[in-house]
Amino acid sequence: MRPAFIEDSEAILAGICDRDVVRNLALVPWPYDIADARAFAGRAQDPRFPHFLVTLPGIGVIGSAGLGEQQGEPEIGYWIARPFWGQGYATEAAGAVLQIARAIGYSRITAGHFTDNPASGRVLRKLGFLPTGHVSRRHSLGRGCAGDLMEYALDWEADVDPAPIARAA
């Protein structure tokens, strides 16, 4: 994983310019064109919400992963180009973003996937996210409409069992 550079615009376009990729994203328009890729590649890094390209040696850009903000909370997002689906790249990239999120100091990260994209839900569960039990309506620029979104959260503080700490005191 690495930051995006404007020189990556063509590679970003090649990876994401697939309606089946874009329809699973909330903030990516369809159709997606070179101007969109340049805008993404040129976007300034926010130290609170970093974003990265996912790359493979000898191949180049195969996706993106990073943090954003949704309703005041940090939210993880990712996409992987279709030829690389089902090979663990989304899980690996999102896992690296979670390590960065912890280093930043976040104790809770949110996520979601459209209900017709269960593969993304499997990625989230592998990473330790738990369904919140909420399904919300979220607009997707790629779909051009709202869709049902399964909401998840990863709360590192909730993973701590207070009983061993109390016994040690």
Average pLDDT value for residue range 125-148:
97
Q: Tell me what pLDDT residue 159 has.
A: 53
Average pLDDT value for residue range 44-67:
97
Left, alpha or beta for 139 (phi > 0: left; psi -120 to 50: alpha)? beta
Whole-model pTM?
0.91
Q: Burial, 38: exposed, middle or buried (Cβ in 10 Å; 0-12, 13-18, 19+)?
A: middle
CATH class of residue range 6-168: alpha beta
Average pLDDT value for residue range 42-56:
97
What is the per-residue pLDDT across 16-30, written as a single tens digit (0 to 9) for each?
A: 999 999 999 999 999
